Amino acid sequence: MAEVRLNTVRKAYGGQVAVHGVDLHIRDGEFVVFLGPSGCGKSTTLRMIAGLEEITTGTIEIGGRDVTRLEPKDRNIAMVFQNYALYPHKTIYENLAFGLRMRKMDKAEIDRRVKSASAMLGLDPYLERKPKQLSGGQMQRVALGRALVRDPDVFLLDEPLSNLDAKLRVRMREEIARLHQEVGTSMVYVTHDQVEAMTLANRILIMRDGHVQQVGAPLEVYDRPANLFVAGFIGSPEMNLIEGHLERGALKAGGLSIELPPGIAAAEGTPLVLGVRPEHIGVGEAPGAHAFQVAVIEQLGAQTLCIGEVAGVRLRVLMDRTDAVRNGTTLPIQFRPGRLHVFSKETGARINRADADVGRRPAA
């Protein structure tokens, strides 16, 4: 196990900058997820850690060693790719053992490591099979096992579940989380799937256009997004974003007036964007409630998502399951100041000074 440090790591292809100076300290045994849309630089950053991409400027340390100019084989890392990259003509045992044999490891030690990884990943019944005889989930386990037998300082996983169906992705997320708990090795995981990031990570690094937008624990970035991009990217269903301006401590947006939390660092009349998550809009009669007219209903099983308008502003409202709401129903809703996120329309940056009620769901 080892710490990983990225010190102002930058990558440029000619005049095109792909990664703009990443500074990150990954603690020993930590699970860090790089999250962002396609082309944001997350895989390029992972490949620089692996040594598969040359760094333009900056340094990388693994376990206290400067590995910036070392070859991948000298970094003691193991990488799992999106495609399984298994040898089709070799058995699963041979696939797991191949890398160790290439390193001329003792036969008994190879057998011990292969059987240990196989038992941990539930591969014992398949060791004599060929990859074509396995399911996608089983092949991904073999790819994980091939990394595991190396006993690396760091695991690097580049969108390893992208080729699996939805049900299998959930199962493999559980497998990877269990694997991390058991081996305790630092893991760096790249994905564009926010659910994978939220469920697996100790910390999430969110990227956009080669720039780091925010680094924090999953609930930290969920509860206190640093800017509009993070606010819109994290959360499903996505956050409601309402454009307006500041007027006497409230956001004015068309015919809608929403009281804002105290301590907004903005002058009267400043253009703002108000963010509120669908599950943080209270439903029920209360002083100052707004009339929300439902236009579309999505029944999600345990919850009901209503899409509609309040004073001409389109909103998504998520509540505990109800079968009583119909298209055209008018519901009384409330916005709780402690659950609101306020952003500068000009810069996109968060300007809340305090979030008094973060972590507590408003009563319905």
* 8 Å CB contact between 128 and 92: yes
The vertex-171 CA angle with 306 and 298, nearest 5°, equals 10
Instruction: Please count the helices (runs of H) and the strands (runs of E) in the chain.
Output: 8, 20
Structurally, at CATH architecture level, domain 4-223 sits in: 3-Layer(aba) Sandwich (3.40)
Strand order in the sheet with 271-276: 256-259, 250-253, 240-247, 271-276, 341-344
In 3D space, the residue among 283, 194, 273, 198 whose CA is nearest the CA of residue 238 turns out to be 194
Classify residue 350 by its DSSP letter: B
Cα–Cα dist 90/327, whole Å:
58
The model's pTM: 0.90
Burial 161-171 (b: 16+ CB within 10 A, else e): beebeeebbee
Q: What pLDDT shows up at residue 358?
A: 43
Q: What pLDDT shows up at residue 1?
A: 64
In 3D space, the residue among 184, 154, 159 whose CA is nearest the CA of residue 172 turns out to be 159
For the chain, residues classed under CATH 2.40.50.140 are 228-344
Strands (E), the chain: 4-13, 16-26, 31-35, 57-62, 65-66, 77-80, 154-158, 186-191, 203-208, 211-216, 240-247, 250-253, 256-259, 271-276, 281-283, 290-299, 303-310, 313-320, 330-335, 341-344
Cα–Cα dist 236/100, whole Å:
42
Splitting the chain (364 residues) into consecutive groups of 10 residues, what average pLDDT does each group show?
93 95 96 96 97 96 96 93 87 93 92 92 93 90 91 93 86 90 94 94 98 97 96 94 94 92 84 96 89 96 96 95 92 92 94 53 34
Burial 313-351 (b: 16+ CB within 10 A, else e): bebbbbbeeeeebeeeeebebbbbbbbbbbbbeeebebb
Cα–Cα dist 21/23, whole Å:
7
**Fold (topology level) of 228-344:** OB fold (Dihydrolipoamide Acetyltransferase, E2P) (2.40.50)
Q: Which long-range contacts (CB under 8 A, 24 or more apart) does 251-254 make?
A: 251/342, 253/311, 253/313, 254/311, 254/312, 254/313
3-state secondary structure 132-183: HHCCHHHHHHHHHHHHHCCCCCEEEEECCCCCCCHHHHHHHHHHHHHHHHHH
Cα–Cα dist 276/245, whole Å:
16
Cα–Cα dist 146/142, whole Å:
6
> Judging by DSSP bridges, how do beta strands 4-13 and 57-62 pair with one another?
antiparallel
What's the half-sphere exposure (Cβ side, CA atoms, 13 Å) at 248?
1
For the chain, residues classed under CATH 3.40.50.300 are 4-223
Q: What pLDDT shows up at residue 123?
A: 92
Q: Can you read off the two tokens belonging to residue 117?
A: 């990884």
Cα–Cα dist 310/285, whole Å:
15
Alpha carbon of 47 to those of 34, 79, 133, 147, 320: distances in Å?
12, 9, 31, 16, 43
* 8 Å CB contact between 123 and 138: yes
Cα–Cα dist 107/142, whole Å:
20
Q: What pLDDT shows up at residue 353?
A: 59
